[in-house]
Amino acid sequence: MKGGYAGKMLFVDLSKGKIETKELAEETAQRFVGTYGIGARVLYDMMKPGVDPLGPEAALGFVTGPLNGTGALFGGRYAVVCKSPVTGGWNDANAGGHFGPELKKAGFDAVFVSGAADRPVYLYIEDGEAEIRDAADLWGKMSVETLEALIEETGEKNLRAAVIGPAGEKQSLMACIINDRHRAAGRGGAGAVMGSKNLKAVAVKGTGEVPVADPEKLKEANRMATDGMKNGSNAETVKGYSNYGTGMGTSGYALSGDSPVKNWGGVGVLDFGEESARKIDSIALDKYKKKKYACASCALGCGAYLEVNEGEWPLGVTFRPEYETAAAFGTMCLNDNAASIMKCNHICNEYGLDTISTGATVAWATECYENGLISKEETGGIELTWGNAEAIVEITQAIAGRTGLGEVLALGSARAAEKLGKGAEYLQTVKGIELPMHDPRFAPGYTRTYQFDPSPARHVKGGLGGLQARDPGPAKYDSNDTGAMDMMMTGIYEVLQASGICLFSLFAQLDLAPRMLEAVTGLNCDSEFQASATKRIMNMRHAFNLREGQKPADFVAPKRSVGDPPQEEGPLAGCKVDHESLKRNFFAAMEWDEETGKPSRESLEALGGLDDVVQDLYG
């Protein structure tokens, strides 16, 4: 391999205490690119169908992309991969920060962990070496405390670590993995998988260099990215995100119909209103900004440290809530108390909880409470009414600590409804996982992505939604003939994320990822390569679900999210999503059977690298 890869993967069996290094085959790297592409290929090999995602037979991967650690701008993202304990199927979640590049510099493209330790442990990796260490003293610590304790123990002040908080230890199905204090591989319950293995942290110190095939070409791509950010059509957005982060759009989204409101049953402009929307916008939080935060190799820097020393919830130094968080604990709960949103965000970061699923679960529980399905006795006296900021904080704390009703809510809304035996009619989930914070009634294409990306209910998986959200015209509701464009917009994201760079690189230039990939790896990353890689990676992840016995009919879009029935008032009045056409067109483009979900044998054989999938599906 000319560049971009360390060429080695670490395999850790915690049951046996065994650590093994294996070569990353050049062919695998070329075919599956990196992050969840390589992750899906390896996990398909490592895991048998039907295993308990929280059992020792399950595997968990931390996988870098070829652009991590190379100096490619935006190249700070890695992926966590596992079988989701929520959906029972494929799960990938990615995070920024510095962990991914550090792992690569330590000499590994990926770490895969199987088995389960008989006591709390952490994995320490330093420049090509790895060891399993005792973590008894770390167990029970919050995510930031854990990193600080690891830094103290190892004496490495620039140590990078992916850790779980108490939520992961207690196997909350909304538990995430946190690196660099506040960057979260959030969705699908990966934190619970890590907790099930008694693995508190993966700590990394790397000082090596990642080879780059054509450094001059990479410099040129970086120059192009910088120029695009400064002078391109998204220059204003870049500047705004750099100053205020993703929450800059919160108020506009809340009123336009882009944000779900009141557990997907409300209308932003009527039920929430302009004054409330502006209160939870990150522009309103700017008075708390202490300093900016940027992930590795990022020239945009959408994060920020805040310092909150006043009001009902003084937090000291905390991190700025992202848009998804502000919507989940804000518009979804009709909550315009920004301090409470910062508090909930803080709790989630500390305990290691996915803010999207947690906020959405609070919204679901609120609707149950308002309709008499959950009583005040069951909440332990918490008056879980719409917009009650104190109650939202209290119930979030209960979820984090798994106390009272929080014990069952920590399983997420779908599992909680099942356990409580009520509230299923208010669930806004696909295959058990809560929808993210962009409304398909506003941009219909989101529905296809939420339903049929192999990691369902994700806002970061491409498709038509992002494009349509910026199109105010009515044409976006015509879902005839969407397949080719849906595939194209999915492919851009698939290749970009497998490369290990951030979605916000799209603000600089649409084809930045393949340009950088070509410079770093020396491969020809033309449109044919991108189309093949997209289909191969998508099929690999999809095959994992098919092997688990999952069928397209198992992935159902919640009725509210597709306008069934349509809203009667507000900007989305009358809007219906033709989710059947969107599905049909995408399945045709992917050559997937609509009933069984099976990709055609011919398409799999043409892609290559999927012989075992062909064997599993067709014998």
Partner 1 sequence: MEVTVKLFAHLRNMAGTDQLRVDLDQGATVAELLDHLSKTIDSPALTDNSTSVMVDHENAVPETTLKDGDEVLLLPIIGGG
Binder among 52, 131, 471, 580 for partner 1 (CB under 8 A): 471
260 binds partner 1 (CB under 8 A): no
Contact between residue 502 and residue 76 where contact means Cβ atoms under 8 Å apart: yes
323 binds partner 1 (CB under 8 A): yes
Q: Write down the least CB distance from residue 282 to partner 1, Å.
A: 10
- Taking a C-beta distance cutoff of 8 angstroms, is the pair 434, 270 a contact? no
In the complex, what is the shortest distance from the CB of residue 516 to partner 1, in angstroms, rounded to a whole number?
A: 19
Tell me if residue 570 falls in helix, strand or coil.
coil
Q: 99: closest CA among 296, 271, 279, 257? A: 296
**Nearest approach, Cβ of 456 to partner 1 (angstroms)?**
19
Our CB check for partner 1 shows the closer of 246 and 497 to be 246
Using CB under 8 A as the binding rule, whether residue 478 contacts partner 1 is answered as no
Q: Does 278 bind partner 1 (CB under 8 A)?
A: yes
Closer residue to partner 1 in complex, CB, 246/429: 246
Site size toward partner 1, by CB under 8 A: 41
Of 6 and 437, nearer to partner 1 (C-beta) is: 437
Minimum distance from CB of 272 to partner 1 (Å)?
Answer: 12
Q: How far apart are CA 20 and CA 160, in angstroms?
A: 21
Residue 477 burial (CB < 10 Å; 0-12/13-18/19+)? middle
State the Cα–Cα distance between residues 594 and 588, nearest whole angstrom: 8
Among 28, 114, 179, 256, interactor with partner 1 by CB under 8 A: 256
Minimum Å gap between C-beta 242 and partner 1 is 11
Q: Which is nearer to partner 1, 233 or 309 (CB)?
A: 233
Residue 247 touches partner 1, criterion: CB under 8 A = yes
Among 208, 215, 252, 522, binds partner 1 (CB under 8 A): 252
Taking the C-alpha atoms of residue 208 and residue 28, their distance in angstroms, rounded to an integer, is 23
Residue 258 makes contact with partner 1 by CB under 8 A: yes
Query: φ and ψ at 12, to 5 degrees?
Result: -120, 120
Q: Which of 30, 154, 237, 603 binds partner 1 (CB under 8 A)?
A: 237
> Can residue 571 be called a binding residue for partner 1 (CB under 8 A)?
yes
- Residue 128 interacts with partner 1 (CB under 8 A)? no
Considering only residues 421, 470, 565, 568, which one is a binding residue for partner 1 as defined by CB under 8 A? 470
Token pair of 136 as six digits: 């008894």
The smaller minimum CB distance to partner 1, of residues 13 and 322, is found at: 322
**Cβ 232 to partner 1 shortest distance, Å:** 10
What gap in Å lies between CA 178 and CA 149, rounded to an integer? 15
Report residue 576 as tokens. 């219906």
Scanning 202-210, 275-283, 312-320, 588-596 for contacts with partner 1 by CB under 8 A, the matching segment is 275-283
Give the integer Cα–Cα distance in Å for 51 and 432: 18
User: Which is nearest to 401 in space by CA: 168, 166, 169?
Assistant: 166
Residue 439 binds to partner 1 (criterion: CB under 8 A): no
**Using alpha carbons only, how large is the chain's radius of gyration in Å?**
22
Closer of 29 and 269 to partner 1 (Cβ): 269
Q: Determine the Cα–Cα distance for residues 193 and 115; give it in Å rounded to an integer.
A: 11
Provide the β-strand partners of residue 185: 177
- What binding mask, one character per residue, do residues 496-515 give for partner 1 by CB under 8 A, x or -? -------xx-----------
Q: How far is the CB of 446 from partner 1 (least distance, A)?
A: 11
Look at strands 429-430 and 433-434 and give their pairing.
antiparallel
Q: Does 229 bind partner 1 (CB under 8 A)?
A: no
What burial class does residue 470 get, using C-beta atoms within 10 Å of its C-beta: 0-12 exposed, 13-18 middle, 19+ buried?
exposed
Applying CB under 8 A, does 446 fall inside the site for partner 1? Answer: no
Which tokens sit at 138?
């770390």
Q: Where are the beta strands (DSSP E) in 408-490?
A: 429-430, 433-434
* Residue 233 contacts partner 1 per CB under 8 A: yes
Strand-pair category, 129-134 with 177-179: unpaired
Using CB under 8 A as the binding rule, whether residue 241 contacts partner 1 is answered as yes
Q: To the nearest whole angstrom, how small is the minimum distance from the Cβ of residue 216 to partner 1?
A: 31
Residue 322 binds partner 1, judged by CB under 8 A: yes
Whether the CB-CB separation of 322 and 346 falls below 8 Å is answered with no
Q: Which stretch binds partner 1 (CB under 8 A): 79-87, 213-221, 470-478, 559-567?
A: 470-478
Range in contact with partner 1 (rule: CB under 8 A) among 173-181, 239-247, 418-426, 523-531: 239-247
| DSSP class per residue in 94-162 | EE-SSHHHHHHHTT-SEEEEES--SS-EEEEEETTEEEEEE-TTTTT--HHHHHHHHHHHH--TT-EEE
Q: Which stretch binds partner 1 (CB under 8 A): 52-60, 119-127, 213-221, 278-286?
A: 278-286
Dist. CA 70–CA 498, nearest whole Å: 15
Q: Provide the residue type at 51 as one letter.
A: V
Among the listed ranges 29-37, 548-556, 565-573, 609-617, the one in contact with partner 1 (CB under 8 A) is 565-573
Residues that bind partner 1 (CB under 8 A): 233, 236-237, 239-241, 243, 246-249, 251-253, 255-258, 269-270, 274, 278, 281, 283, 322-324, 437, 459, 466, 469-474, 503-504, 570-571, 573
